[in-house]
Amino acid sequence: MKHCINKYILGSLLFGAMTGVTSCNLDYNPVDTYSDITEGVQTNTGEKLEFQTKADVESALTAIYELMKNRMEHWYLDLLLIGDSHSDNAYGGTTDSQAMPFENNSIEGSSPILERDWNRYLEDVAQANRIICNIDKVPDDTFTETQRKTITAQAKIFRALIWFDMVRLWGNIPLITSIAPDITAENIDDIYDQYFPAQADAATVYKQIETDLIEALQYAPDNDPTDKTKFSKSVAKAMLAKIYAEKPLRDYSQVIKYCDLLEQDGFDLVEDFSDLWTLNDSGTDLKIRNTKESILEANFPSTGGNWCAWMFGRDLLNYDYSFTWAKWVTPSRDLINLFNRENDTKRLNESVVYYECDWSIYYPSNHYAFMYKCRAGVSSIIKLRYADLLLLKAEAYLWGAEQNLSAAADIIDKIRQRAGLQVLSSSVRNNESALKTAYLNERRMELAFEGQRWFDLCRLDKVEEVMNNLQDEGRNSRVNPFTANSYLLAIPQTALDQNEKLKQNPGSSAASDVYKRQNPGY
């Protein structure tokens, strides 16, 4: 009876997120067969242990790194769709029901994209919790205290990265920090809430992220200049800077502090922006991997493994590969016009490529624009880049309590000069409003197609101003206006159906329907 109840619950609940169950893909049911992951292992005394040896824990840590690298849908692909196509940077890229709602602002809880992301993020949290909650129970005398703390620190950084994405997307989310025991007839009343938790408010989530990162700082590995696929102390510092820029924790003095610490760790801009994306002389791999600008990246072999580029555009090693169907995240005319107004040829050419194709949705087929930053099998996916953090430091000087327009302008100029542009004029440098506009434009051009734009607009309360006034003849008609309720996405309906304690965000489909009824001519 115990296993029957447990299997039913696990199979219906968030893909086993509360229990440490994970899956490799959406078609695999993790509870079809029992394993050490679902059942644990037994000691001679009958106590259930998740891990018996140091090697078991190290294998679980390796699995976490593989999740970041190989499950690109929610870590990268979907964040580009949301971060760029839901903003003024891009169109959805196709007319299908998955991508189009992000372009025309008709996102509902039935979205398979949101369902996939919600489930996979919670699966990732479960994997992190599996290590964090069980590592101190491992009966291996060769497993030192320092080794345990180093692995725990990496798992906490991974968990913080997940929660950061989730809280920005949905706001109030289940804050799961434990592993629920198996459900039996005897304990169901006691542990039910662990399987079906209520949401924590966004401020509480951010405080937990802060706690995880600060604790991780002490024991995480140092930054390795030769391998940026590590949850290092530098990654923790970068994430602390990013969370302190967000409204629930906003402390711009802390943003400056942690950005300065990254500089002390040796991070800087590469001299040539193109070096981040271009091929080597033989055309077989990226020119430079693990640059001094990269803080966290997933490296892929030059022989293949990263399929993101052919989801979006051109494969550098085979321009015609998988080029017979429309791609997600098509660059918008509005963004291209911004590049052209600024004479930003270098960043435009590394972000957008034109090609002749067999279809025409947004552009003429003989001159079709594609996103171009992700470089297929010769690529790495950069999750955190120093230019982003350096610009956040400029933001802190612009919006923080101790405003320093000159310091902000100097940072913006450093970014601009790397791109081959002229420095800001004195009239912009000395005008707060003009400088803030220049800052937003600079982040938009520098970080185009890195999934940042939507979150920039949300963080600085610019969604309504920018998106409701957008004039882009290539963009599909907006279904719903952008309001104060647009900053958070709809919680998947499947999650709401599974857990009655979850509350839908106010800007979801129900609110949209009310608007349409009240404004039938919209």
DSSP string for 120-173:
HHHHHHHHHHHHHHHGGG---TTS-HHHHHHHHHHHHHHHHHHHHHHHHHHSSB
Cα-based torsion angle of the residue sequence 225, 226, 227, 228 in order, rounded to the nearest 10 degrees: 40
* Residue pair 373/449 in contact by the 8 Å Cβ criterion: yes
Per the CB < 8 A criterion, the answer to whether 435 and 459 are in contact is no
Q: Closest Cα to residue 101, out of 328, 416, 406, 280?
A: 328
Q: For the chain, how many residues are written?
A: 522
∠ CA 24-30-36, rounded to 5°? 100
Question: What are the φ/ψ torsions at residue 358 (nearest 5 degrees)?
Answer: -100, 10
Under 8 Å between Cβ of 244 and 254:
yes
Task: Go through the domains of the chain in sequence order and give each one's CATH number.
Answer: 2-220+452-518 (1.25.40.390), 249-445 (1.25.40.390)
Contacts of 152 by beta carbon, 8 Å cutoff, 6+ apart: 131, 132, 135, 216, 219
The model carries a pTM of: 0.89
Which residues fall within 8 angstroms of residue 480, CB to CB, at 6 or more apart? 105, 106, 486, 512, 515, 516
Beta carbons within 8 Å of 89's beta carbon, 6+ residues apart: 83, 331, 332, 334, 335, 444, 448, 449, 453
Torsional sign, CA 144, 147, 148, 149: positive
Rounded distance, CA 368 to CA 357, Å? 7
Show pLDDT as tens, one digit a residue, over the chain (522 residues): 333 333 323 333 433 444 343 333 333 333 333 333 333 455 555 567 899 999 999 999 999 999 988 888 888 889 999 999 999 999 999 888 899 999 999 999 999 999 999 999 999 999 999 999 999 999 999 999 999 999 999 999 999 999 999 999 999 999 999 988 777 777 777 777 788 899 999 999 999 999 999 999 999 999 999 999 999 999 999 999 999 999 999 999 999 999 999 999 999 999 999 999 888 888 778 888 999 999 999 888 777 667 777 777 766 677 666 666 778 899 999 999 999 999 999 999 999 989 888 888 999 999 999 888 876 556 788 999 999 999 999 999 999 998 999 999 999 999 999 999 999 999 999 999 999 999 999 999 999 999 999 999 999 999 999 999 999 999 999 999 999 999 999 999 999 999 999 999 997 754 444 333 333 332
Q: Could you give the CA distance from residue 103 to residue 126 in angstroms, rounded to a whole number?
A: 32
